[in-house]
Amino acid sequence: THIERMAGSNCTQATEFILAGFTEAPATQLAQFLLFLLTYLVTILGNLGMIALIRASPLLHSPMYYFLGNLAFVNLCSSTIITPRMLAGILLGEKGITYAGCMAQVFTFDLFGVAESFLLATMAYDRYVAVCHPLLYPLVMSPERCSRLVTGSYLLGLANGVGQTIGMASLFFCGSGAMDLFFCDISLLISLSTSETTLSIVILRTSSSLLGVPSILVILVSYVAIICTILGIGSAEGQRKAFSTCASHLTTVTTFYGASMFMYLIPRSETSRGGEKWAAVFYTVVTPMLNPLIYGLRNQEVKEAWRRLRKIKCA
């Protein structure tokens, strides 16, 4: 491998990074491996099962479940980017990750992270139209518009991934940089760089503002309108039914943004590093597992679709 040298320095460009991961105590490592393996298997089965159920059941051929199927796909991909590499590190004790592998993690993680945030915003808009303008719902949420909204979510995620990777490509890393985390986090990588980081910081903050803020605003505005509409419904039963259509999505939004804000917005300190690491676990490993469980356990239409599918298979 060709190693570039910095001008006027004996320092060489890093060809790998060290991911510190978790504790090195053998008994604890085994427990962590089994826990994360179980979590990953549930994530794979849950999200693949949700995608298959949505495709197989005519009851779920609606815009909301079209978006949910894409959310399950994104969860599947984002978890697969992080968890298998983490499991291999715990099992084999291999902490190194190549420079190319680290950049690939940054690209794909940033791609699917932004795609998920816009899919959640799209689902919030879908619920807004369903609750506040039910008569216009078939017209507003037409198959063509739904397809464009999903395609736009992926394209915005792709733009973010490409932009962040270009910003990272201009950075120089001296030797083998060590990160006190189990995956290549872009903010930690920037802090490790020995070169000028202004461009990377500008790209990171700009993308966070241009891509993160609008999706959050869409969700907030949609739910303010939804709550106002629900409060205006005369009967308690009507209010309950209207809110039940949004409960699963609201729970998913809370877990996704709650974990991401704890991970990225709370100021870092020496004493909070352990908490940050477990917040990262929740954000990258646990949340992709929870989403299909939330919809599977809370959503009556998903339960009914599963019951009908079982009856057909048993018949």
Could you report the per-residue pLDDT of 14-49, keeping only the tens digit for each? 777 888 777 667 778 888 889 999 999 999 999 999
In the structure encoding, which two tokens stand for residue 259, read together? Answer: 């974990």
The token pair that represents 187 in the structure block:
């903010």
Mean pLDDT, the chain, whole residue set: 83
Q: What is the 3-state secondary structure (H, E, C) of the chain?
A: CCCCECCCCCCEECCEEEECCCCCCHHHHHHHHHHHHHHHHHHHHHHHHHHHHHHHCHHHCCHHHHHHHHHHHHHHHHHHHHHHHHHHHHHHCCCEEEHHHHHHHHHHHHHHHHHHHHHHHHHHHHHHHHHHCHHHHHHHCCHHHHHHHHHHHHHHHHHHHHHHHHHHHCCCCECCEEECCCCCCHHHHHHHCCCCCHHHHHHHHHHHHHHHHHHHHHHHHHHHHHHHHHHCCCCHHHHHHHHHHHHHHHHHHHHHHHHHHHHHCCCCCCCCHHHHHHHHHHHHHHHHHHHHHHHHHHCHHHHHHHHHHHHHHHC
Q: Which of 22-36, 70-84, 181-195, 301-315 has the least mean pLDDT?
A: 301-315
Q: Which of 74-78, 204-208, 211-215 has the least mean pLDDT?
A: 204-208
- Tell me, what's the pLDDT at 221? 95
Q: What architecture is the 16-303 domain classified under in CATH?
A: Up-down Bundle (1.20)
The proportion of the chain whose per-residue pLDDT surpasses 90, expressed as a percent, equals: 35
Give domain limits for the chain: 16-303
Q: Which of 67, 148, 77, 66 shows the shortest CA–CA distance to 110?
A: 77
The whole-angstrom separation of Cα 136 and Cα 73 is: 28
pLDDT above 70: residue 74: yes
Query: What are the pLDDT digits (tens) for 160-174?
Result: 999 888 888 878 887
pTM: 0.87
